[in-house]
Amino acid sequence: MVGKVSKRRGARNARIASRSSYLEPMLPELNNSLAPTQILSVEQLNRLNNASLDILENVGVIFRDEMALEDWRKAGSKVVDNRVYIDRHHLQNLMESVPAVFTLCARDSAKSLTIGSKQAIFVPMSGANFIRDMSDERRSSSLDDLASLHKLSHVLPAIHSLSTSIVTPHDVNLQTRHINATYSAIKHSDKALLGYANSGQNAADTLAMCDMVFGKNIVDSQAVIMATMTATAPLLWDAGATEAMRHYAQRGQPVICSPAVHAGGNTPASVLATVVQVNAHILAAIGYAQLLNPGVPVVYGQNLSSASMRTADAMMATPEVTQMAAIFGQLARHYGLPYQATGGVSGAKILDAQAGYETAASVYSALGAGANVIDNAFGSMEAGSLCSIAKFMVDAEYCAMGYRMASALSWDDFDDALNAIGDVGPGQRYFGHPHTMQHFESAFFMPKLHDYSGFQLWQAQGSQNIQQRAVRHAEQLLAEYQPPVLDFAVDEALLAFISSRENN
């Protein structure tokens, strides 16, 4: 008898410990059940596509990279100075080899991701120069800050893939920052990686580190890291981006072709004309990736904002940005390509109502647009120049809510729930019904950071705002964090590589 009681108490204690732990497993990639937003008719979409192809043939795209220019010449394209004119039929033939779906492998195979179709993943921001830390101090970011964010990325369930460079580690030598940041990501998480793509050397170093972690044969045969190729000038790809693309594409590693859009600043002051120009810009990069390695996975992407016509500053989550996100999603589906969109980006300086509104609008517009990769989804403030740890945490909860909202509804307990209506009857409550008791933990999403208590209870518990609750939760997660296993020999090889690069 004593043994049975002890066993029951042990099981009960285990359940209590499970509920009291702040750590949760990673959510699988989202199977988005939402019907994607269709702003344009097929005829209108074809009109935009043809206008983009006209730009590629008659206006051209600048490639500031002699090797890229030579590649285009060898492929038969017209090249004048550093401007490439791309025939539409040639481009269409190149794009036929792009896979509609691919797998991005993680160090922990259970966390590998499907990119494409109706699958969606959430990814943190990249490249912030400043941080709002646990004390809400705004300052330049450090390698320790990056490590903390990588740890949080590892344990937050809605984060599927982590950026190696969520923030810039300014306390590390400029020439080796990318190596230290990549090591931090590998050391502190076994989720899928989003790597550096701002220069050929950075890309080569990142891939060399992937060879050490996964093995060269694996890297040459499977996608183990994804990199974002971006540009700020209209219809121009600079050498840093195309050199990085060559390294990734020639090894079969996927690239996201994602120009930074400042509508009205680096595009015409028109939603539709902006889409036409940016689409041409994206297609030129996708075509080049296929020139390098036919069949290499490519993601059709964008990084959207519109220009304030009063100050020229970037504005996020405006009505026009939401419209463009939906149209780019339609174009990606038209081409049969995976689609990347931004979510969670805000121009706010502190965690205020603007930050919340812009995050909500951008996350939901990305989900509604059918995005497969939703990046910049965690922590972004000041138009991406700052990462707030408090917002990082709130965004993680908000993306988990978006994940739940876009997931397919379950019919498994439908009949039992209907029977409960007959059992309880009019005028009664359901809290004590067996169906409620069975499903109370899973029936509805229960946020940890949003507060729904009455005023007096909230006041009695310290009158904390959401920023304070978010920082406290971050501290709890970091206290419970356990690093994933990294083979000792691999770790030693990575550290030796970093040392050799720092010494040279």
Strand (E) or helix (H) holding 50: helix 42-58
Does residue 12 register a pLDDT over 70? no
For the stretch 348-390, pLDDT in tens is 999 999 999 999 999 999 999 999 999 999 999 999 999 999 9
CA distances from 82 to 72, 238, 279, 283, 290 (A): 11, 10, 20, 17, 20
d(CA 99, CA 295): 6
Going 258 to 259 to 264 to 269, the CA torsion angle's sign is negative
d(CA 360, CA 343): 8
**CB-CB neighbours of 20 under 10 Å:** 7
Per-residue pLDDT, 22:
73
d(CA 132, CA 391): 9
Per-residue pLDDT, 99:
97
Q: Per-residue confidence at 21, pLDDT binned at 50, 70, 90?
A: low
The candidate with the shortest Cα–Cα distance to 370, out of 336, 401, 345, 413, is 336
CA distances from 333 to 38, 187, 214, 257, 370 (A): 11, 36, 32, 15, 9
Exposed/middle/buried for 4, CB within 10 Å: 0-12, 13-18, 19+? exposed
Query: For 111, phi and psi rounded to 5 degrees?
Result: -105, 10
Query: For 163, phi and psi rounded to 5 degrees?
Result: -70, 135
Cβ atoms 202, 196 nearer than 8 A: yes
For the stretch 236-274, pLDDT in tens is 999 999 999 999 999 999 999 999 999 999 999 999 999
Of 16-20, 107-111, 246-250, minimum mean pLDDT range: 16-20
Residue 102, strand partner residues: 115
Q: Is 192 helix (H, G, I), strand (E, B) or coil?
A: strand
Q: Which residues contact 322 (CB under 8 A, 6 or more apart)?
A: 361, 362, 365
Kind of pairing, strands 119-122 and 30-31?
A: antiparallel
473-488 mean pLDDT: 97
d(CA 236, CA 137): 37
Q: Is 207 helix (H, G, I), strand (E, B) or coil?
A: helix
Q: Is 346 helix (H, G, I), strand (E, B) or coil?
A: coil
DSSP structural state of residue 372:
S
For the stretch 120-151, pLDDT in tens is 999 999 999 999 999 999 999 999 999 999 99
Kind of pairing, strands 119-122 and 314-315?
A: unpaired
Does residue 7 register a pLDDT over 70? no
The candidate with the shortest Cα–Cα distance to 99, out of 363, 268, 273, 299, is 299
Does residue 13 register a pLDDT over 50? no
Q: Which residues contact 163 (CB under 8 A, 6 or more apart)?
A: 123, 124, 125, 126, 153, 185, 194, 375
Q: Per-residue confidence at 4, pLDDT binned at 50, 70, 90?
A: very low
Options 3.30.460.80, 3.40.50.720, 3.20.20.480, 3.30.70.2190; CATH for 95-406 is 3.20.20.480
For the stretch 427-466, pLDDT in tens is 999 999 999 999 999 999 999 999 999 999 999 999 999 9
Does residue 497 register a pLDDT over 80? yes
For the stretch 50-100, pLDDT in tens is 999 999 999 999 999 999 999 999 999 999 999 999 999 999 999 999 999
The full set of domain ranges for the chain reads: 95-406
d(CA 151, CA 184): 9
What stretches of 177-255 show up as alpha helix (H) in DSSP? 177-188, 200-214, 216-221, 239-250
d(CA 45, CA 333): 11
Query: For 80, phi and psi rounded to 5 degrees?
Result: -120, 115
**CB-CB neighbours of 497 under 10 Å:** 17
CA distances from 422 to 428, 436, 437 (A): 11, 14, 17
Per-residue pLDDT, 130:
98
DSSP structural state of residue 377:
-
Q: Which two tokens stand for residue 212?
A: 């050490």
Going 345 to 363 to 120 to 19, the CA torsion angle's sign is positive
